[in-house]
Amino acid sequence: MKPVYLNNAATSWPKKGQVGGTVAAYIDGLPCHAGRSGFSGWDVTGQCRGLLAGLLQVKNPNQIVLCSNATYALNIALHGIHWQSGAAVVTTAAEHNSVLRPLHYLSKTKGISIHEVSVDRMGRVILDEWEAAIQQFKPQLVVFTHASNVTGAVNDAARLGEIAKQAGAITLLDASQSLGIIPVLPEVWGFDMVAFTGHKYLLGPTGTGGLYIAPGLDLEPVWVGGTGIQSDLDEMPPDMPSRFEAGTPNDPAFAGLAAAVTWANDHGLDSTELQSKIERLAAGLAAAGADVIFVAPPRTPVVSFTLRDWDVGDVGEVLHKSFGIICRTGLHCAPRIHSYLGSYPAGTVRFSLSRFTTYEEIDYCLRAVGEMMHETG
C-alpha cells in the first residue's frame, strides 16, 4: 500500500532539491567550519543565512540567528528579554506549546502576567479584542502565531504587529506554520523578532530553524559557550549572529536547508492550485459526513475535522493501518484553541497538505473517510 502523507504541518515530505544527498555529501566531506578551521571551505551557514534573508526580505543576513528548531528560537527570544518588574505579555488562544510553556515558566520565575486574546471559530485572532487587550494591559511583549497549526487560519500579522508597536510593545511572531507557504516579511512589517522552523514548509531537514532579531533590540543570550571567534572574551561576542550561536552548528542540516530553499526559489508555489486542493478536501470531507472546521482564506493547507461516533485517535489509526493515510490527531500541541473550536478535550483529526499533494490522493482520502462513515452509519 503506497502511503498518502498528509502530515506536512508536522514535518514536510517528500524533500526536494537533493536535500538528503546534500546532507550526506556534507557529512562525508572534509570538515570545515567557517571561522574555526585552518583552511577555507564551504561556508554553509553563511549561504543558508543569505538564502533565508532573501526569502524574508531582510537586508542584513547577520540579523538571522540559526537554531535547531523554532522552539529553540522562541526560547532565545522569550528568555533573552530584559523583563521589567510586573511586565505583561499579550498572546492568543491559538498558540503552540513552544510559546505557552516558556511563557508559563516566565510567569513562575519572572512574575510576568500573561493575557490571552480569544480566537473565532476559524482559529483567527479577534482584532477588536486584540486592540482592547493592548490598550488595557500595555504589554512589554506580544507574541502570536502567524498561522494556526490546528485550522490553518492566517492572522493579519502586519496589522496585529502595528497595533502592538504603536503601544510600545516588543513584537514576536511565530512563523513556524507560514514561512515557505505564505510571505513572512519582518522588516516590511516592522517586527522585532520572527521565529521559524526549516523542516515544515521550507522543505528542509529536521534540526533547522532560525530567529530574526531586529537591529538594536537588546537581548541577552540564553546559551553561552564557544563561537570560534573572539575567544579571549569572558562573555559572548557582541556581534550578530555570534552572540546567539554558541557551540558547533549543525552544518549538514543547514546544508540541506540551503538546498531546499534553493529548490523552492527555482520552483514557484502555485498558490491558486493549492487553495483549490484545500477547498476540495474540506468540501469533500463535509459531504462524506465529517464535521469540518471551515476556514476562510487566507489559510495554510491544513484541514481539521472530527467524525461523529469516532474517537479522533481511532480515526487516525484506522486511516493509517487500513488505508495507508498518515495524518495527525489530538490537540496538536496547541491545547487552548480547541475550547473555541468545540473540539476540547479530544482535539481533531488534521490533514495537512503540501505542494506535492495530488488530487488523486485527496480523492482517495475522501473515499476512505466515506467508507469509515458508512461503517458507522
Q: What is the dihedral of CA 251, 175, 79, 54, to 10 degrees?
A: 50
DSSP string, 204-234: --SS-EEEEE-TT-----SS----SS-TT-S
Q: Which domains does the chain have, with CATH numbers?
A: 4-14+270-375 (3.90.1150.10), 19-265 (3.40.640.10)
For 269-325, the pLDDT digits (tens) are 999 999 999 999 999 999 999 999 999 999 999 999 999 999 999 999 999 999 999
**What pLDDT, on the 0 to 100 scale, is given for residue 377?**
61
For 146-157, the pLDDT digits (tens) are 999 999 999 999
| Contact indicator for 367, 324 with CB cutoff of 8 Å | no
What burial class does residue 375 get, using C-beta atoms within 10 Å of its C-beta: 0-12 exposed, 13-18 middle, 19+ buried?
exposed
**What pLDDT, on the 0 to 100 scale, is given for residue 137?**
98
For 201-214, the pLDDT digits (tens) are 999 999 999 999 99
Asked if pLDDT for residue 376 goes beyond 90, the answer is no
For 1-25, the pLDDT digits (tens) are 689 999 999 999 999 889 999 999 9
**What pLDDT, on the 0 to 100 scale, is given for residue 141?**
99
User: Poorest-confidence range of 170-174, 336-340, 372-376?
Assistant: 372-376
**What pLDDT, on the 0 to 100 scale, is given for residue 11?**
98
Residues in contact with 296: Cβ distance below 8 Å, sequence separation at least 6, in sequence order: 122
For 45-66, the pLDDT digits (tens) are 999 999 999 999 999 999 999 9
User: Which cell goes with 206?
Assistant: 529536521
Q: Cα–Cα distance between 14 and 34 in angstroms, integer?
A: 30
Mean pLDDT of 252-258: 98
For 64-118, the pLDDT digits (tens) are 999 999 999 999 999 999 999 999 999 999 999 999 999 999 999 999 999 999 9
Asked if pLDDT for residue 42 goes beyond 80, the answer is no
User: What is the phi/psi pair of residue 362, to 5°?
Assistant: -60, -45
Top-confidence residue, 71 or 227: 71
For 178-196, the pLDDT digits (tens) are 999 999 999 999 999 999 9
**What pLDDT, on the 0 to 100 scale, is given for residue 1?**
66
How are beta strands 193-197 and 209-213 bridged, if at all? antiparallel
35: confidence class by pLDDT, cuts 50, 70, 90: low
Handedness of CA 19, 21, 22, 23 (dihedral sign): positive
**What pLDDT, on the 0 to 100 scale, is given for residue 364?**
98
For 113-141, the pLDDT digits (tens) are 999 999 999 999 999 999 999 999 999 99
For 312-334, the pLDDT digits (tens) are 999 999 999 999 999 999 999 99
* 3-class secondary structure, 4: strand
* 3-class secondary structure, 102: helix
